[in-house]
């Protein structure tokens, strides 16, 4: 129970933060329970399981979207739908224990059994790009900027 309260408070900090990457780092740090700078599979699983508000060990698209958009105010419905579809690997309409190993594999880019902050930020950004939530502009002076859309 206390872990849920601490994580919920962390999500509030995440939501109130001004900088998108900073919010993502705060989320990573709060999920990193043993403070070793890497997420284990159990630590990453706990992030998704927070959305299982009825504690039936499965998260529907509606449940996830409501929590993403309303309860935690993390992002919009388009982002929630994209993230849900990525996490629902077997496309059975729910995120459950069968999907979580694949979610971990998605974030564990180098397959070392841990998710570093760089892997987390890279894959989180990729999800946003795939959902069309960011655009990348490459300028003539080789500067790259990203902007949120939608």
Find all residues with CB under 8 Å of 65, minimum gap 6, and list them. Answer: 77, 80, 81, 84
Find all residues with CB under 8 Å of 93, minimum gap 6, and list them. Answer: 60, 61
3-state secondary structure of 45: helix
Strand partners, 39: 115
Prediction pTM value: 0.65
Indicate the DSSP class of residue 68. I
Per-residue tokens: 86: 């990525």
> pLDDT truncated to tens, each residue of the chain (150 aa)?
555 444 444 554 444 444 555 667 877 888 899 999 999 999 988 887 778 889 999 999 999 999 888 887 777 888 888 888 888 989 999 999 899 898 899 999 999 999 999 999 898 888 777 766 554 444 444 444 445 544
> Quick one: CA dihedral 33, 131, 104, 118, positive or negative?
negative
Write down the pLDDT at residue 50: 79
Domain ranges of the chain: 2-148
Write down the pLDDT at residue 18: 45
Write down the pLDDT at residue 146: 47
E strand or H helix at 136: strand 134-138
């Amino acid at each position: 129970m206390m872990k849920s309260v601490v994580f919920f408070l962390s999500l509030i900090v995440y939501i109130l933060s001004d900088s998108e990457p900073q919010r993502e780092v705060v989320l990573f740090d709060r999920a990193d329970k043993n403070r070793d700078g890497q997420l284990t599979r159990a630590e990453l699983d706990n992030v998704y399981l927070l959305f299982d508000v009825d504690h039936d060990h499965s998260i529907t698209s509606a449940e996830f979207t409501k929590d993403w958009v309303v309860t935690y105010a993390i992002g919009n419905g388009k982002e929630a739908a994209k993230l849900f579809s990525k996490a629902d690997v077997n496309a059975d309409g729910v995120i459950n224990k069968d999907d979580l190993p694949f979610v971990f594999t998605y974030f564990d880019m180098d397959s070392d059994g841990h998710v570093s902050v760089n892997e987390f930020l890279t894959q989180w950004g990729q999800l946003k790009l795939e959902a069309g939530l960011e655009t990348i502009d490459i300028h003539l002076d080789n500067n790259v900027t990203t902007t949120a859309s939608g």
